[in-house]
Amino acid sequence: MTVTLPDGKALTFPRGVTGNDVAAAIGPGLAKAALIVELDGKEWDLFRPIEQDANIRIITRKDEKALELIRHDAAHLLAMAVQDLFPGTQVTIGPAIDDGFYYDFARAEAFTPDDLPKIEARMHEIVRQARPTRREVWPRDKAVQHFKDIGESFKAELIASIPSNEDVSIYWHGDWHDLCRGPHFRTTAEIGDAFKLTKISGAYWRGDAKNAQLQRIYGTAWRDKKELDAYLTRIEEAEKRDHRKLGREMDLFHMQEEAVGQVFWHPNGHTLWRTLENYIRRRVGEAGYNEIKTPLLFDRKLWEQSGHWDTFHQNMFIAEVEDEGRTLAVKPMNCPGHIQVFKQGTKSYRELPLRLAEFGSCHRYEPSGALHGIMRVRGFVQDDAHIFCTNDQITGETKSFCELLLRAYRDLGFDSVKVKLSTRPEKRIGSDAVWDLAEGSLEKATRAAGLDFTFNHGEGAFYGPKIEFTLTDAIGREWQCGTLQVDFNMPERLGATYIGEDGNKHAPVMLHRAIVGSMERFIGVLIEHYAGKFPLWLAPVQVAVATVVSDADAYAGEVVAALKAAGIRTVLDTDNQTVNYKVRQHSLAKTPYLLVLGRREAENRTVTVRKLGVEKQESLALDAAISMLCAEAVPPDLR
C-alpha cells in the first residue's frame, strides 16, 4: 500500500498502517508533533488504520488547521469536565467556532459564573491525565438504545437523525465517551493548556426557539499561551472601542428607560450624524436620486395590502385613534410610502428608472433581547431609496448601485466588503415563477457588477431576493450594512403602474436599496471602527484651541472666530489649567487637532499645532494653519 506525501514522495506500508506509523517513519519529531492526518483531504485519526492508497498530509500544531481541531477536542474536554463535576448533566453538541468552541448541556440547575473556573480546572486536570482516545463504530440501533439507556436523550435523537449511509462513530477519551464524527487527538494531553472558558448562555436545542432551552458554555482555545493572550488582549481592545462607552465619553448620545431602543443624539453625535447624512445626500444626489419625505403613520389597510401586516404586525407600533375608530401603524419601512409617491400622476416608461430616496425614520418593535446600544434599536433612520424600473434596467441599476456603495464605503474608511445573495425564504409572497425571475435577474446583475458573492439560501425578504453587503472594520469584525433587494411583488400589490412603449399599463420592478442601512447602526460601526478617532471631516469637534496663559485669551478668541468662519468645528478652552492638563483632556476627548496659544503665539500671530496621537508640535502662521485644516476637513466626495 502506498501513501504519497505532500512533496510527492511515495512510501510503502502494509495495509492497516496508522498515521502514527507513517509519521514515525518520517521522523520522531513529526511523530511527536502530529495531531491528525489527512487522507486525500479527509481528516483521519492518527491511531485509525489506513486501508487504501492515499495522499497523506500530517497535521501538526503549527498547521493553520490545528486550531479547529484543538477547539473540537477542547469541546469534548469541556463536556468531560462538566459530566465529571455535574453528574446527570446531558451532553448535546459542541462544535468549534471562530476563536473557540462551545458545548450545549441539558441540566435542570443553571450553571453559574462561579462554575467556570471549577470546570476549567478540571479540564486542565484531564489534559494532564492524557486520557487516550479510541474510536468505535456502532450499529445505529445499538447506539440509539445505549444513549437512551444512559439517559442521554438528546444524543439518541441526534443519532437517529444521522443518514443511514453514515457510520455511527463513538469516541472514547479514557472511560468517557461521546457520539462524534471525529477526528480526535491521540490523547487529551495534545489539547494543550491555551484555553479559557468565557461565558455561559442559554441556547435552543437545534437552534429552534420552539425547542427546549439548553445551557451553552463558551470557551476560547489556541495553539499556545501566546496566542491565547493575544486573543484576550484583542477582546480587551474591542471593549475599549465599544460605541456605548465612547458615545458617553465623547458626549455623542445617550439612551434611557423612557425611550427604550431609541437614541438621544447630543450636539456632538448629531454633528456626526449630519456630516454622514449630508455626505450620503450628495453622493445619492449625484447618482440621480430624488430625495423625498413621507409620513410616519399609515392606515393599517396599507400594511395589509403590502403584506407587512401579515408577516410583521406583532413587530409594529400601533396607534389607535379613538375618534376615527381606525388603526394606524408607525412605518417599519419606507417602501409603501414611496410607492404612494410613485403612484401620483401617470408615469411613463420614459421616466424610468425613477429613483426615490429618503432618510426614512422607521420604528420596529424589536424583541427586547435583540436591543444592543445604537447598533440594534427600535427607532432608526434608513438611508433608503427605491428604484422603480423596467426588467431591462435591473442590471444597469444594480451595477451603478454597487459602485455607489463601494465608493461610499471606501470614503468612510472601509475597504473590505463581502457580498451575499439571499434567495427565497419559506414565508413569502408571489409565485415561484416571479421568484425565479427575480433571483435570476439579481444574480445576473450582481455578476455584471463584477462582485464575488456567496449564497445565503432561504434568507431573502418576503417580497424578493436580496444582496447584502458586509464590511470589515479595523479590528476584523464584520458588519452587515448595505442591501439591495429585487421586488416584483410590492408594486403590483399596491397598484403602481407605468405606461409602457406599447401604451399599456405595466407594474414596474422595484429595487429596495440602502448603503449604510440604519444610520444609528452605521454610526455605531464608525465609532468602533475608528475607536472614536474620526478622520477630520467626520470628527464632531475638529479643533480645540487652548490657552497657556490668560494673556492669550483675546487672541484665542480671534483664532476660534477665524476657524469657525472657515467652517471648522472648534471649541475654545481658556480654563484656568495647565497645558499638560489641557493636552490630556483634549487627547482623551479624541479631538483631532489641538492649537496651543501662549504669549509667543499671540505676539507673532501663530498657532502651535498638535495632532492627536502625535507628540511633535508644529508652529504655523494662523492663516497657514487654517488653510491646512480646511484642506484636510473637506469631505472625500468634495476633494
Task: Please list every residue from 211 through 230 that binds RNA, using CB under 7 A.
Answer: 213, 215-216, 218
Asked if omega into 353 is within 30° of 0 (cis), the reply is yes
- Whole-number minimum distance, CB 374 to RNA, in Å? 9
Q: Is 368 in the site for RNA (CB under 7 A)?
A: yes
Stretch that binds RNA, among 137-145, 282-290, 498-506, 549-557 (CB under 7 A): 549-557
Q: Is 447 in the site for RNA (CB under 7 A)?
A: no
Single out the residue of 18, 220, 268, 485 in contact with RNA (rule: CB under 7 A). 485
Q: Which lies closer to RNA via its Cβ, residue 4 or residue 311?
A: 311
- Count helices and strands in the chain by DSSP H and E runs: 20, 36
Report strand pairing: 168-173 vs 133-138.
antiparallel
Q: Which lies closer to RNA via its Cβ, residue 113 or residue 345?
A: 113
Q: What is the dihedral of CA 249, 254, 256, 261, to 10 degrees?
A: -120
DSSP state of 115: H
Single out the residue of 61, 281, 372, 418 in contact with RNA (rule: CB under 7 A). 372
User: If residue 522 lies in a helix (H) or strand (E), which one and from where to where?
Assistant: helix 519-530
Could you please report the per-residue DSSP string of 254-308? E--GGGTT--EE-HHHHHHHHHHHHHHHHHHHHTT-EE----SEEEHHHHHHHTH
CA geometry: angle 225, 228, 229, nearest 5 deg: 85
- Report whether 78 contacts 103 (CB < 8 A): yes
Stretch that binds RNA, among 42-50, 395-403, 535-543, 583-591 (CB under 7 A): 583-591
- Tell me whether residue 529 is one of the annotated catalytic residues: no
- Tell me whether residue 384 is one of the annotated catalytic residues: yes
Write out the binding residues for RNA, residues 95-134 only, by CB under 7 A. Answer: 110, 112-113
Q: Which lies closer to RNA via its Cβ, residue 13 or residue 365?
A: 365
Query: Coil, strand or helix: which one is 349?
Result: helix
Single out the residue of 86, 138, 365, 453 in contact with RNA (rule: CB under 7 A). 365
- Tell me whether residue 382 is one of the annotated catalytic residues: yes
Q: Which lies closer to RNA via its Cβ, residue 13 or residue 309?
A: 309
Nearest in space to 384 (alpha carbons), one of 429, 331, 440: 331
Single out the residue of 379, 587, 624, 637 in contact with RNA (rule: CB under 7 A). 587
Q: Which lies closer to RNA via its Cβ, residue 55 or residue 587?
A: 587
Write out the binding residues for RNA, residues 229-268 only, by CB under 7 A. Answer: 244, 248, 255, 257, 260-261
Q: Which of 48, 331, 355, 386 is catalytic?
A: 386
Query: Coil, strand or helix: which one is 358?
Result: strand
Write out the binding residues for RNA, residues 377-406 only, by CB under 7 A. Answer: none
> What Å distances lie between residue 620 and 283, 389, 541, 583, CA to CA?
34, 54, 20, 18
Single out the residue of 462, 469, 534, 537 in contact with RNA (rule: CB under 7 A). 462
Write out the binding residues for RNA, residues 591-630 only, by CB under 7 A. Answer: 594, 596-601, 608, 610, 612-613, 615, 617
Single out the residue of 121, 319, 475, 549 in contact with RNA (rule: CB under 7 A). 549
Q: Is 64 exposed, middle or buried (0-12, 13-18, 19+ CB in 10 A)?
A: exposed
Total interface residues for RNA by CB under 7 A = 74
Cα(194)–Cα(566) distance, integer angstroms: 55
Give me the 325-354 binding string for RNA, x by CB under 7 A, dash otherwise: -------xx-x-------------------
